[in-house]
Amino acid sequence: MSEVPYFVSYDEALTILRQHTLNIGTETIALDHLYNRILAEDIQSTVDDPRFDNSAMDGFAFQYSDSTQPPAVLSIKQTLQAGTDEQLTTIEPGQAVRIMTGAPIPNGADAILPIERCSISDDGSEVTLHDEGKKHFIRKQGENLKRGQTALTKGTLFSPSSVGLCATMGHASAKVFKKATIGILPTGDELQLPGEELSDNSIYESNSFGLTSLVRMTGHNPIRYTSVSDSMDALRQQLDAAAAECDFILTSGGVSMGEWDLVRRIMEEEGDIKFWRVKIRPGSPPLFGYWKGTPLFGLPGNPASSHVVFRMLVAPFLRASTSEGGVEEKRIRVQLAERFKTSPTDLILRRIVIDTSGENMLAYSTGYQGSGNLNSLVLADGLTLLEPGHSGEKGTWCDALIL
Residues that bind ligand AMP (CB under 6 A): 186, 188, 190-191, 203, 205-208, 252-254, 256, 300-303
Nearest residue (CB) to ligand AMP, 118 versus 312: 312
Q: In the complex, what is the shortest distance from the CB of residue 276 to ligand AMP, in angstroms, rounded to a whole number? A: 13
Position closest to ligand AMP via CB: 301
User: From the CB of 372, what's the least distance to ligand AMP, in Å?
Assistant: 6
Q: How far is the CB of 190 from ligand AMP (least distance, A)?
A: 5
Q: Please identify, using beta-carbon distances, which residue of 370 and 388 lies nearer to ligand AMP.
A: 370
By CB under 5 A, residue 285 contacts Mg ion: no
SS3 at position 298: strand
Buried b (16+ CB within 10 A) or exposed e, 17-45: beeeebebeeeebeeeebebbbbbeebbb
Helices of type H across 111-195: 160-168
Which residue of 59, 104, 253, 271 would you call a contact of Mg ion, by CB under 5 A? 253
Considering only residues 104, 188, 210, 300, which one is a binding residue for Mg ion as defined by CB under 5 A? 188
Residue 349 CB, shortest distance to ligand AMP, in Å, is 17
Q: Does 104 bind Mg ion (CB under 5 A)?
A: no
Q: Which span (15-23, 135-143, 252-260, 346-354) binds Mg ion, by CB under 5 A? A: 252-260
Binder of residue 381, out of ligand AMP, Mg ion, none (CB less than 5 to 8 A by kind): none
**What would you report as the CA-atom Rg of the chain, rounded to the nearest whole angstrom?**
30
Distance CA 382, CA 308 (A): 11
Q: Any contact of residue 298 with Mg ion (CB under 5 A)?
A: no
Burial class for 352, CB neighbours closer than 10 Å (0-12, 13-18, 19+): buried
Question: Could you count the other beta carbons within 10 Å of the beta carbon of residue 64?
Answer: 15
Per rule CB under 5 A, is residue 295 in the interface with Mg ion? no
3-state secondary structure of 316: helix
DSSP secondary structure of 199-226: PTT-EE--HHHHHHHHHHHTT-EEEEPP
Query: How many residues make up the chain in this entry?
Result: 403
Collapsed DSSP state (helix, strand, coil) of residue 297:
strand
**Residue 289 in the binding site for Mg ion (CB under 5 A):** no
Q: How far apart are CA 72 and CA 10, in angstroms?
A: 68
Sites of contact with Mg ion (CB under 5 A): 188, 253-254, 301
